[in-house]
Amino acid sequence: MQTQIATIQNKWKMRDFITLAIFNVVMLIIMTICPIFTIVSYLVVGGAAALFNGPIYMVMSNKIDKRGVLFFTCIITGLYFVAFGYAYYLLTLAVIGIICELVLWGGDSYKSPVRNAIGYAIFYVGWSLCGVVPLIFFREQYLAILKKGYSPEQLETMLYYFDTPSMILLMCAISAVGGLAGCFIGNLLMKKHVKKAKLV
């Protein structure tokens, strides 16, 4: 009986797909704007995007409350970047999406702020790693493609950020902190406004 209820609860309806898509549009727009922060540094882009998207993700997850929210978010983000010619984003984000769903597996995790924050932070760490992953697995081919597109000085600056382990770690740490802070603020805002209005 209990499993039956669980399957009913986890079945996605059209309503959920539409909610997911609309919230993802907003998240994608913010993600597209966030590279402006490269003026400060490359390292803060992931963190800034995570901080701004935190409240949006928290409300979405609480509204839909079904298994796969974060995975579908990863896939949609990946597909968006595929349209711009970054096919490896989709692969990386799909793997990250599965890891995120494992973190959120079972229980009432989509309503719990702490577990949501952890999953969400992992998603943004993965998003920042998207530029690094191809350098680890297919270094030669990827560098050949980059050499075609960028001048040597530009390539050197990019590799400084995406190929130095300390820089990668710093970038991941900033993204994770941004994700956790975003979810924390999101949770506060949700309690203050959305739950009072009984919208979730």
By beta-carbon proximity to other proteins, the closer residue of 82 and 99 is 82
100: its two tokens: 């995120």
Site for other proteins in 103-132 (CB under 8 A): none
Integer angstrom CA distances of residue 63 from 87, 108, 185: 30, 13, 17
Q: Which of 149, 152, 165, 196 binds other proteins (CB under 8 A)?
A: 149
DSSP one-letter string for 98-154: HHHHHHT-STTGGG-HHHHHHHHHHHHHHHHHTTTHHHHHSHHHHHHHHHHHS-HHH
Q: Does 17 bind other proteins (CB under 8 A)?
A: yes
**Least Å from the CB of residue 58 to other proteins:** 9
State the burial class of residue 82 (Cβ atoms within 10 Å of its Cβ: 0-12, 13-18, 19+).
middle
Q: How far is the CB of 172 from other proteins (least distance, A)?
A: 18
Which one of 71, 72, 110, 162 is in contact with other proteins (CB under 8 A)?
72
Is there a contact between 45 and 158 (Cβ–Cβ < 8 Å)?
A: no
15 counts as binding other proteins under rule CB under 8 A: yes
Which one of 1-9, 74-82, 97-105, 109-117 is the stretch in contact with other proteins (CB under 8 A)?
74-82
- Distance (Å, whole) CA 88 – CA 93: 9
Q: Is 85 in the site for other proteins (CB under 8 A)?
A: yes
Check residue 29 for interaction with other proteins (CB under 8 A): yes
Tell me the backbone φ, ψ of residue 106, rounded to 5 degrees.
75, 165
Residue whose token pair is 């609480």? 62
Which residues are at the interface with other proteins (CB under 8 A)?
A: 12, 14-15, 17-26, 28-29, 35-36, 38-39, 41-42, 52, 55-56, 59, 63, 72, 76, 79-80, 82-85, 87, 145, 148-150, 153-154, 157-158, 185, 189, 193-194, 197, 199-200
